[in-house]
Amino acid sequence: MEYDLGPAAAALRQRLRGLVGEHVPADYLGAFTADPADLAIAQRFCATLAEEGLLCLAWPEEFGGRGASLWEQTVVREEMWAAHEPRGAQYMGVNWVGPTIMRHGSAEQQARHLPPIARGEVIWCQGFSEPGAGSDLASLRTAARQDEAGDGRGGRAWRVYGQKIWTSYATMAQWCFLLARTSTGGRKQQGLTIFLVPMDAPGIEVRPIDCMMGPHHLNEVFFDGVRVTEADVLGTVDAGWAVVQEVLAFERVGIARYARCERLLQAAPVVLGDAWADLPAALRGRWARMLVHARRARLLAYRVVARQGTGQVSPVDSAAYRIAVTKLDQDSAEVLVEIINLVELEGAEADYFRREVEDHARYSVSATVASGSIEMQRILLSRALTTASGPLGTAPARTVATS
């Protein structure tokens, strides 16, 4: 397998690394800390990327992009995630909120939402998971009840009641990509609708949840009679589940976790120097195995990217990638933590590496739950393979928009 994407991709990588080195502090560990300055760094860096035409590289030009290839956008994903995602929460708008609005949004919704995303000015959160409806998302209870008063222009309106949980970035987001039930009867996947809701709408309350990953990752969001109208509906009323399936396909490949794992693994012998040879041979063997697993996850990600280029994403490929990369997150973190605990690290570079590893380890704890649990991915994979007539990747594909 040739992992080299060519000289243009290599030049893009160097350009991105140069911008990170110029605009992001050397000890940066992401936007989602207790220090508001870290979020400010991410917002400024997003504006820089937008000015350079790199934030929404693969978007069509009419929506604020440059019409670049998906492989160039993949380079951006990899470099950003390897550098602790200095775009902050913007990856969500760039990778799947924007492309989903391109595909399913009205002209008015596209005009309202796409330019701010392309400029890096707006943060979105995802109103999906609920208590009792995480992996089994279609069982959600948040309900949009029709408001008989309508929208005042002859259209329909609803009042939203319910609770969401997890909801990363809810304390900093300006908009919520909200999934709610608008009708009952039939299969649980039916009767679901997506609303684009401003987070400052009356009736929304956000309650942060303390966790080991730090602030902004976990929140509860309560909806108490939040008013929405047909103008806020993305796509078709009661037909939101098909859109959600597209969204999840993008979300699961949109974060290049393997890139950070591989960078940290490769940095370990450099930071340890002569002490590397003193590590147990078995531990160095596990370290080497993790590098192989990082390349495997990259290969599976590239399989999905290649399918995106043809407008098709196979549930088999997405699930296989998700399983591999989340296991890589946790297994590589275990190896790296053992390494730093066996060696006395001294100096600023070594101290930063230790903090990087500890941050990676904390984040990896949630890896097999976030964006769909690994158990659900295994079920999806097994179901798809039982209906496939050939090897991995030949299950029926689903047409989706490209990001």
94, amino acid identity:
V
382 SS3 class: helix
Q: Could you tell me the residue ranges of all domains in the chain?
A: 7-122, 125-238, 256-399
Domain formed by 125-238, architecture = Beta Barrel (2.40)
Other Cβ atoms less than 10 A from the Cβ of 132: the count is 11
The answer to whether 340 touches 102, Cβ cutoff 8 Å, is no
The predicted-structure confidence for 251-284, as pLDDT tens digits, reads as follows 656 679 999 999 999 999 999 999 999 999 999 9
E strands, 111-174, where?
A: 124-127, 143-147, 157-166
Question: What confidence category does residue 307 fall into, taking pLDDT thresholds of 50, 70 and 90?
Answer: confident
d(CA 221, CA 92) in angstroms, rounded, equals 18
Question: What confidence category does residue 2 fall into, taking pLDDT thresholds of 50, 70 and 90?
Answer: low
The predicted-structure confidence for 334-374, as pLDDT tens digits, reads as follows 999 999 999 988 899 999 999 999 999 998 988 777 666 77
Give the active site residue among 251, 334, 338, 346: 251
**Model pLDDT, residue 312:** 67
Contacts of 68 (CB under 8 A, 6+ apart): 57, 58
Per-residue pLDDT at 403 exceeds 50: no
Question: What confidence category does residue 310 fall into, taking pLDDT thresholds of 50, 70 and 90?
Answer: confident
Q: Confirm whether 346 is a catalytic residue.
A: no
- What is 7-122's CATH superfamily? Acyl-CoA dehydrogenase/oxidase, N-terminal domain (1.10.540.10)
The CATH number corresponding to 256-399 among 1.20.140.10, 2.60.120.10, 1.10.580.10, 3.30.70.260 equals 1.20.140.10
d(CA 5, CA 74) in angstroms, rounded, equals 10
Burial environment of residue 75 by CB neighbours within 10 A (0 to 12, 13 to 18, 19 or more): buried
183 SS3 class: coil
Question: What confidence category does residue 192 fall into, taking pLDDT thresholds of 50, 70 and 90?
Answer: very high
Per-residue pLDDT at 49 exceeds 80: yes
The answer to whether 384 touches 320, Cβ cutoff 8 Å, is no
